[in-house]
């Protein structure tokens, strides 16, 4: 989470309380979204034990369809989750609750490539500690280099994330079951 006064990019050591935050949000979101929700996942760096992260919990929602989710956007807004549209990723609905709840929601139609990419990257980092370690070092370096520039911080991660998302999807295809 960033400091509301400075909007400073903050990368901190992994914190087990992030799982507790996810679990609290999961209960709220399941109750609110009901049968529109197909699955809900903790993703992003806070979901990878031992990986440093910005202390904002990323949650992936798999929904039946985006129109159904769009109809529930006012209820999400009432919780402090601001609807931001696709926010740069086609087929996604993004909700920013960084300042109000310490979370970001990324919603995709169940089975979509966008959702699979997030899950594959998470699982790849969880099972490839050397990649997670490299990613953590990159994030710390970028946060130190661009402490007040979220866009530059994110852009600095793009090539690493793209390369390893691709590897993660290939790795996932080779997994049994």
**pLDDT tens digits, one per residue of 66-96:** 999 999 999 999 999 999 999 999 999 999 9
List the one residue out of 132, 42, 32, 113 whose CA is nearest residue 74.
Answer: 32
Enclosing H/E stretch for 172? helix 150-173
Residue 166 has pLDDT above 80, yes or no: yes
Task: Output the pTM of the full model.
Answer: 0.93
Domain contains 110: yes
Domain contains 11: no
Report pLDDT for 163.
98
Domain contains 2: no
122-154 per-position pLDDT tens digit: 999 999 999 999 999 999 999 999 999 999 999
Identify the CATH number of the domain in which residue 52 sits.
3.30.460.10
Domain contains 1: no
Cβ proximity of 135 and 125 under 8 Å: yes
Domain contains 4: no
Q: Which residues contact 159 (CB under 8 A, 6 or more apart)?
A: none
List the one residue out of 43, 42, 46 whose CA is nearest residue 10.
Answer: 46
Domain contains 36: yes
Range of the domain at 67: 17-173
Split into its structural domains, the chain has a count of 1
């Amino acid at each position: 989470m960033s400091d509301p006064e400075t909007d400073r990019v903050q990368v901190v050591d992994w914190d087990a309380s992030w799982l507790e935050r996810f679990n609290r949000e999961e209960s709220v979101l399941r109750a609110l979204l009901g049968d529109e929700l197909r699955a809900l996942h903790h993703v992003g760096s806070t979901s990878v034990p031992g990986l440093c992260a910005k202390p904002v919990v990323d949650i992936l929602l798999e929904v039946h369809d985006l129109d159904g989710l769009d109809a529930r956007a006012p209820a999400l807004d009432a919780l402090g989750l601001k609807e931001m549209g696709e926010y740069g990723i086609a087929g996604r609905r993004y909700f920013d609750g960084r300042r109000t709840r310490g979370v970001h929601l990324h919603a995709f139609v169940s089975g979509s490539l966008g959702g699979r990419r997030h899950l594959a990257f998470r699982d790849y980092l969880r099972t490839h500690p050397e990649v997670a370690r490299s990613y953590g070092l990159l994030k710390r370096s970028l946060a130190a280099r661009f402490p007040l520039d979220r866009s530059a911080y994110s852009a600095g991660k793009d090539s690493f994330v793209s390369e390893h998302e691709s590897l993660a999807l290939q790795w996932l295809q080779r997994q049994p079951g």
